[in-house]
Amino acid sequence: IVIVSLLFATWITYLVYRWQKMSASMRSQIMNGIKQLEFIPFYQPIVDSRTQKVIGCEVLMRWQRQDGSLMPPNQFIPYAEDKGLIVEMTKVLLQHVLNDIEKLAGKREALFFSVNIVPEHLDNDNLYQLLKSVVDSGQLKQHRISLEITERLPISDLVAARKMLDKFYAIGIDLKLDDAGTGYGGFSYVQNLGISTLKIDKMFVDTIGHEDNFNAKTIEAIISFAQKSGLSIIAEGVEDNKQVAYLSQHGVHLIQGYVYSKPLPAKQFFH
Ligand code: C2E
Ligand code: CA
Ligand code: CA
Ligand code: CA
């Protein structure tokens, strides 16, 4: 028994060591990626199904590695959010977005660019100052920046967060609630944060056509809650025309999903 438990303890120690080493190298790779500006945007169009026109997009982060490979967010964002690295990465992302918009100049109708933020972005006014200088400089032309925050992550001080958000609202930057219906914050965020738009999560959109499913009741509840609260609605993860038709019947016309387009690299989105 002694030998077995010794072996077991050694094995566990080894695993912990491996895990620490792995996560240390993840950290240094991300830090390096920040220096090298490797966190780049893909743009997923958001379409008004009534006109079929693109009215804006969501900015989705990808990690463009030195070897040319592209890493999807689920492989590094949870780590980056957990370790407090996401704020610096968002800064890099925004630099690329601003460059892309600059190149686009006046070629397109007015679009919004919806950027994902985390509660930490509201802890101080760094992001606000950055975006204020961008807005003041006029480099956005006819376009505008919008923010989205997920219901998944808790905001510890709603009053302080609202104070910061009001500064954004004053310069024409609104806030959308992401992953609506999946987290805990929903009602209190809507009541306290001055949210403009609810984004219905794919999880609920997936239930369309399966009306016996419990979540199918949830999507109707989310839609009617948003409508009664005077919020705009964007449905996300919409993959087929049956879903578009259902949403349309329920008064939801702003659609983001593969039915119209996957997230696109700048070159394709700004063609
Ligand atoms: P999210 O914010 O909910 O973004 C929507 C995700 O759904 C995107 O995945 C998008 O590609 C995917 N999607 C959109 N339409 C469809 C569809 O019709 N079918 C399917 N199967 N998927 C669809 P992506 O780009 O892999 O991003 C995953 C998550 O990573 C995002 O979920 C968000 O939570 C996080 N993320 C991405 N970029 C950023 C960022 O810049 N900052 C932060 N904090 N998180 C980010
Ligand atoms: Ca989002
Ligand atoms: Ca979302
Ligand atoms: Ca989601």
Pick from 88, 77, 197, 103: which is nearest to 148 by CA?
197
Percent of the chain with pLDDT over 70: 97
Nearest atom in ligand 1 to 60's CA: 38
Q: 35-64, pLDDT tens digit by residue?
A: 999 999 999 999 999 999 999 999 999 999
Nearest atom in ligand 1 to 239's CA: 18
Task: Say yes or no: CB of residue 239 within 6 Å of ligand 1.
Answer: yes
Task: Say yes or no: CB of residue 94 within 6 Å of ligand 1.
Answer: no
Q: Given this model, what pLDDT does residue 18 score? A: 78
Alpha-carbon distance 195 to 180, whole Å?
11
Task: Say yes or no: CB of residue 86 within 6 Å of ligand 1.
Answer: yes
Helix (H, G, I), strand (E, B) or coil at 44: strand
Q: Is the pTM of this model over 0.90?
A: yes
Q: 118-156, pLDDT tens digit by residue?
A: 999 999 999 999 999 999 999 998 999 999 999 888 999
Q: Which ligand minimizes its atom distance to the CA of 60?
A: 1
Burial of 67 per CB tally in 10 Å (0-12, 13-18, 19+): exposed
Q: 63-88, pLDDT tens digit by residue?
A: 999 999 999 999 999 999 999 999 99
Q: Which ligand minimizes its atom distance to the CA of 203?
A: 4
Cβ(224)–Cβ(180) below 8 Å: no
Instruction: Please tell me the residue having the least CA distance from ligand 1 atom 25.
Output: 60
Task: Say yes or no: CB of residue 116 within 6 Å of ligand 1.
Answer: yes
N- to C-terminal Cα separation, the chain: 68
Instruction: Please tell me the residue having the least CA distance from ligand 1 atom 6.
Output: 237
Give residues with Cβ within 8 angstroms of 91, minimum separation 6. 130
**Element (DSSP H or E) covering residue 217:** helix 214-228
Pick from 269, 263, 232: which is nearest to 73 by CA?
263
Pick from 218, 93, 201: which is nearest to 150 by CA?
201
Q: DSSP label at 7?
A: H
* ipTM exceeding cut-off 0.95 for this assembly: yes
DSSP structure string for 169-226: HHTT--EEEEEETSSS-HHHHHHHH---EEEEPHHHHTTTT-TTSHHHHHHHHHHHHH
Alpha-carbon distance 154 to 209, whole Å?
32
Alpha-carbon distance 170 to 128, whole Å?
11
Burial of 222 per CB tally in 10 Å (0-12, 13-18, 19+): buried
Distance 184 CA to ligand 4 centre (A): 14
Q: 89-127, pLDDT tens digit by residue?
A: 999 999 999 999 988 766 788 999 999 999 999 999 999
Instruction: Copy the structure tokens of residue 220.
Output: 């109707």
Length of the chain: 271
Q: 157-195, pLDDT tens digit by residue?
A: 999 999 999 999 999 999 999 998 887 667 889 999 999
Instruction: Please tell me the residue having the least CA distance from ligand 1 atom 45.
Output: 116
**Element (DSSP H or E) covering residue 150:** strand 144-150
Q: What is the CA radius of gyration of the chain?
A: 21
Nearest atom in ligand 1 to 72's CA: 26
* Helical segments of 36-118, H only: 77-82, 86-104
Cβ(233)–Cβ(197) below 8 Å: yes
